[in-house]
Structure 1
Amino acid sequence: MTDLIPLGGKRVLVTGAGRGIGRGLALTLAASGAHVLACYRGGGEHIDSLAVRLKETPGDHHLIQADVTDAEDVQRLLEEARTRFGGLDGLVNNAGVISHIPFEELPYEEWSRVLDTNLGAVFRLTQQALPLFGERASVVNIGSRAATVGIPLRGHYTAAKAGLIGLTRSLAKELGGRGVRVNVVAPGVIATEAELPQAVVDKYSGLTAVGRLGRTEEIAHAAAFLLSDLSSYITGETLHVDGGI
């Protein structure tokens, strides 16, 4: 097993933890020694299996169902962090949505949905989490390599992820004086439990310098580094974890 970055009992909230990168984040951070409060939107067997995995991992871990676009759910989620942990040392804003629609056909309602989930929720959670942060807190926003290159049919998604970079840089400067660091981890194409067509795997593997897709735990290792005290002098940065695509 890959060596883990020790997180020494840090209290961390992870959003969008039910599937994919979020699931990898929750499990890896818990295995690294963090106490994890994992937020998910919809239930199912994948949540049941995540609950079992977290229960088997040493530490104080909890699964909470919440919609990060709902103001009341956000308040309830952060109250859970306060009552269960007494505060937070880390926040990983991972929850997100994506759709593929030509710009000329993109309804404003879908534009708003994607922007609110991928960017608006980060604003809500980070702002309301500030009173819970300890002296050396770290916010890790999960962005996308798409933010700096643009992708056809995903103008709304790309705009949200590009906005996340700007928000991160501003918050790093504004919150640094109170001990809060804010960074972005920007994944490339990552293999998750959702199977991709072989043609897609071959295409994107061939575009990377390392010749393969990324793994969810590789995104989680980057996040763990930014949550840890090893990165205490890093803030406002975007770390691309994309295999050199």
Structure 2
Amino acid sequence: MDINLSGKKVLVTGGSRGVGRGIVLGLARAGADVVTCYRTDGEAVASLTRELKETGGEHHLVKADVSVPAEVDALVEACRTSFGRLDAVVHNAGVISHVPFAELPFEEWRRIVDNNLGGPYLVTQRALPLIPSGGSVVFIGSRVAEVGIPLRAHYTATKAGLVGLTRSLSKELGGRGVRVNVVAPGPIQTEEPTPPQVLERYQKLIPLGRLGTPDDVAGVVAFLTSDLSRFVNGVSINVDGGI
């Protein structure tokens, strides 16, 4: 069956590039009205604006850094002014870096934590008054939360933290009819080129023989946004091709 999100009002953080962009466009094409945020002006934002206009519906792009409380407040206020409610909040915004743990500066640890865990905390808490019974909160985690990866201890820790946050919030918010889940992508091919040797290695590791796409992630997010997932709560769904 097709997923129809007509009438749904959704906030997606970090929606101008990569997986976030795929989620925004996937939800909009399924009929949802979407607010998304971005941190840096540029062609990615301009082209997304054009694509959303061609898709139809009511969509808004807001410049906001999810690690800054005042900017999160402005983002949520834009959602309240535009939609009055949020049927789903999708936390995609995040940052990553590759640093050996022994050399990891505290400032870089805090930057990753403030964005990848602090952002979801801020946005969820501030948006909560707008989420009605039947609403859905979706955290975009990562498959690395279960397996770990060298040089990304700080990043992995934040993605594992989202799993714990999800399990607690699913119980705390379930009584008011709000579901909370994690989508955990594996290797995803975005607009950034993948080195041939890396692509070949992943093709051997992934039983389906390919990297995932933003659309693969967007489909699962659309399911969790829709009423089809009304009894799915507190779980982490891997989108990784079986790696």
Q: Could you say which TM-score interval applies, normalised by the shorter chain?
A: over 0.9
Matching residue's letter, 1:147: A
Residue 159 (structure 1) aligned to one of 148, 157, 160: 157
Show the counterpart of 1:93: 91
* Native 8 Å contact 1:139 1:180 kept in 2: yes
Whole-angstrom distance in 2 between the partners of 1:199 and 1:116: 33
Whole-angstrom distance in 2 between the partners of 1:110 and 1:205: 32
Whole-angstrom distance in 2 between the partners of 1:27 and 1:174: 31
Alignment of structure 1 residues 1-245 onto 2, 5 Å: 4-245=2-243
How far did residue 58 of structure 1 move? 1.8
How far did residue 180 of structure 1 move? 0.5
* Native 8 Å contact 1:18 1:46 kept in 2: yes
Matching residue's letter, 1:130: L
How far did residue 4 of structure 1 move? 4.7
How far did residue 219 of structure 1 move? 0.1
Whole-angstrom distance in 1 between the partners of 2:134 and 2:78: 20
How far did residue 117 of structure 1 move? 0.6
How far did residue 188 of structure 1 move? 0.2
* Native 8 Å contact 1:41 1:67 kept in 2: yes
TM-score using structure 1 length? 0.98
Matching residue's letter, 1:77: L
Whole-angstrom distance in 2 between the partners of 1:183 and 1:212: 25
Identical residues among aligned pairs (%): 59
**Structure 1 unpaired stretches of 5+:** none
Match of 2:175, SS? helix
Q: What do residues 166-216 of structure 1 show as CA deviations (whole Å, max 9, x unaligned)?
A: 000000000000011000000000000111111111111211010100010
Whole-angstrom distance in 1 between the partners of 2:107 and 2:94: 16
How far did residue 38 of structure 1 move? 1.1
How far did residue 116 of structure 1 move? 1.0
* Native 8 Å contact 1:11 1:34 kept in 2: yes
Measured on the aligned residues, the alpha-carbon RMSD in Å equals 0.8
Matching residue's letter, 2:22: G
Match of 1:182, SS? strand
Whole-angstrom distance in 1 between the partners of 2:38 and 2:237: 25
How far did residue 238 of structure 1 move? 0.1
Q: What do residues 142-179 of structure 1 show as CA deviations (whole Å, max 9, x unaligned)?
A: 00000000000000000000000000000000000001
Whole-angstrom distance in 2 between the partners of 1:112 and 1:222: 30
* Native 8 Å contact 1:168 1:183 kept in 2: yes
Whole-angstrom distance in 2 between the partners of 1:39 and 1:156: 24
Whole-angstrom distance in 2 between the partners of 1:181 and 1:241: 19
Whole-angstrom distance in 2 between the partners of 1:84 and 1:160: 31
Which stretch has the larger CA shift, 115-124 or 141-150? 115-124
Whole-angstrom distance in 1 between the partners of 2:125 and 2:203: 38
Match of 1:88, SS? coil
* Native 8 Å contact 1:27 1:54 kept in 2: yes
Q: What do residues 65-94 of structure 1 show as CA deviations (whole Å, max 9, x unaligned)?
A: 100011000000000000000110000000
